[in-house]
Amino acid sequence: MHKSKIVIKIGTSSLASSSGALSEDKLHQVVTIVSEAMEAGHQVILVSSGAIAAGYERIGYPVRPETTKAKQAAASVGQAILMNAYQEAFMKRGIVSAQLLLTKQEIIQEASYHHLQNTMTELLQRKVLPIINENDSTSIDELTFGDNDHLASLVSGFIHADYCILYTDVDGIYDKNPKLDRSAKRIRTITASELEKRSDIDLRGGSSQGTGGMAAKLHAALQASGMGASVFIGKLDQRIPSLVETTINGDGPGTYIISDQPVPLRSKKQWIAFHSPVSGELTIDEGAVNALLSAGKSLLAVGILGSSGDFNSGSTVIVRSSDASVIGKGRVRLSSDELNQQLTHKMKSPSPVVIHRDEWISVNDTYRERMTEHDFTIHE
C-alpha cells in the first residue's frame, strides 16, 4: 500500500460543543482518526483550529467573543489548553506531537519559509505529528492567513503533500444550498480547472463557529491543487472506520477536487508564485512574451519596454505584455535603478538576463485563479 503525505485540517465546528466551547469528546475523535492514519504508515500534518473555543470560558467570557482583542486573549489562553489536550491524547497512542504557531510573516519571508519547510521535513522523518495553527494571539490583519483552510493549502504546497483533507461539518460541495433546495446534488469528483469554471456551486454552507466557510474551502482547494495536492472537502464522520484511509482511497463522505497541475512547482517557484511580496512591474514586448511563454527562455533587458516600482535585485515583480495583460511573476536580477540605466543607455551588450527561467512563473504554470490582480498588490 502506498504511504502518503497528508495534511488534515480540522475546523472549530469539529472540535466545539453546541455552546462553542472545546469538546473533549470531539477532540478525542479527531485524535483517533489521525492516529489511525499514522499507524497505517502515512505521514500526517494536522492543521487545527480551536484555540478560541478552548480558552474563552476559562477567562470568563460567557459566550464565544466577537472583538479582535477578546478573540486574541481567548486564543492566548486556549492554545496551551488545546495543545496540552492534544499532546496527552496522542501520547496515549504512542505518538509524539509538535506545536507550530504561524503567522504569514513566516511564509512571505523566503529564509523563514525554507527553515519552516526543513523543520517540517525533519519532524515527519522522525515520525512526529506537527500540529499547526495560526498564531491568533499576535496576528495582525495584514499578516493573517484569514482561515486555517488557506493555511492548510499552503502547508500542503511547501511539504509537497499528496492529499489536503479539509474536514468539516458538511458532506461536500453542492450545486445548490442543500438546506434550502431538496434538488441540490453533491458533486462527487471535479478537477480543479473544472471547479474554476463552475458558477452554480453553492458557497453558503458551513458553521457559524468557524472563520472559513465553503468559499474559503474552495479557494484553498484551488490553491492546494495548483501546488500538486489532491483535495477532499467533506464530513468528519467518526463512524466510518479508518476515515483517513477511506478518504484517500476515494470513498470519503464528501467531494474530491483532483489536481490537474501536470508537474507540481518546485519549492522556490512555489514561494515566488504564491507567497513573495511584489515590489514592481515590468512591461515587455511581443518577442519577450513569446520567449517566456512559448520558447522556455529567460527575460532579457532588450525585451523590456518599461518598469515601475522601486525594487532590488532578488525582488519579485509582475510582468505584463504591451496590452497590459498580466503574463506572470518573476524574481529580478537587476535593481530598478540598474534596469532603468540599462533601458536608457543600453549599457551592456549582450543584453543582461533580468529574470532567469528558473525564477519565472507564468499564468500557464499555475491556475489563473491564483494569478489575479488581487495577488499582484505592490508592497511598498
179 labelled ligand-binding:
no
Closest CA to 223 of 144, 319, 170, 158: 158
30 vs 33: CA distance, rounded Å: 5
206 conformational bin, left if phi > 0, alpha if psi -120 to 50, beta if neither = left
169 labelled ligand-binding:
yes
121 labelled ligand-binding:
no
147 vs 222: CA distance, rounded Å: 15
168 labelled ligand-binding:
yes
Cα dihedral 103, 104, 106, 107 in deg (nearest 10): 150
> For 75, phi and psi rounded to 5 degrees?
-65, -40
Contacts (Cβ under 8 Å, ≥6 apart) of 250: 256
Contacts (Cβ under 8 Å, ≥6 apart) of 344: none
In 3-state terms the chain splits into helix, strand, coil percentages (rounded to 5) of 40, 25, 40
Half-sphere exposure of 42 (CA within 13 A, CB side): 29
207 labelled ligand-binding:
no
**What's the length of the chain?**
380
Q: What per-residue string of b and e applies to 239-271 under the rule 16 or more CB within 10 Å gives b?
A: ebeebbbebbeeebbbbbbebebeebbebebbb
Angle, alpha carbons 306-311-312 (nearest 5°): 120
133 labelled ligand-binding:
no
Structural contact between residues 167 and 9, judged by C-beta atoms closer than 8 angstroms: yes
Residue with cell 497512542: 93
Residue ranges of the binding site for substrate: 49, 136, 148
Residues of each annotated binding site for ATP = 9, 168-169
Binding site listing: 9, 49, 136, 148, 168-169
